[in-house]
Amino acid sequence: MQTTLNPNAQAWVDALRSGDYKRGQSALHEMTGSERDEPLFCCLGVACDLFAKAHPDQGRWIATSPIPHGAFMFETATSRSQMHLTIEVSDWLGLKRQGPLASEGNDYGEFERAELDYETDLAIMQTLATLNDEKDFSFKQIADVIESQPKGLFNA
């Protein structure tokens, strides 16, 4: 079993724990629309933001509604998304393309291998997004799940 995370995955976990990102739901990145108009990120959006900072020529945020309010789409060379990781971000993190699905069983589900036909790792994205959006996990709790390296989450 892998004992340490790869550097990019560790940076993701560190960012989730840092308090530098405010947690949002149902979109990779959006603005609150309040007077303070704070940027919000889901756990996957934090990964996209880190990728964009590390590779500004390979990933960027695109506003999908008038600024300063609304959601943003993340764009890379092969795809763009408002809700899922792109292939480049998934690969940069070292996530498996066929990854874990959460099942009923404990607070964050038992992770199992899933056979998928998707180009990106929809199973991982749905699992972590579910913890963020539906189970209302904090970023620190999601970081704990990622750091526990459930079977099938990362490439060996």
Q: What is the pLDDT of residues 3-12, one digit of tens each?
A: 689 999 999 9
Nearest to residue 13, comparing CAs of 138, 122, 121, 140? 140
Specify the pairing of strand 110-113 against strand 100-103: antiparallel
Per DSSP, the three-state class of 35 is: coil
User: Residue 85's pLDDT is what?
Assistant: 85
| Joined tokens for residue 68 | 């300063």
Residue 123's pLDDT band, with cuts at 50, 70 and 90, is low
> Sign of the CA dihedral 148, 152, 154, 156?
positive
Structural contact between residues 103 and 152, judged by C-beta atoms closer than 8 angstroms: no
Domain boundaries, the chain: 7-147
> Residues of 60-72 as b/e, b for ≥16 C-beta within 10 angstroms?
bbeeeeeeeeebb
One-character DSSP codes across 80-126? EESSS--HHHHHHHTB-SS-EEEEBTBSS-EEEE-----SS-HHHHH
Q: What is the pLDDT of residues 33-59, one digit of tens each?
A: 666 678 999 999 999 999 999 999 999
Which has more pLDDT, 1 or 94? 94
The model's pTM: 0.79
- If you average pLDDT over every residue of the chain, what do you get? 78
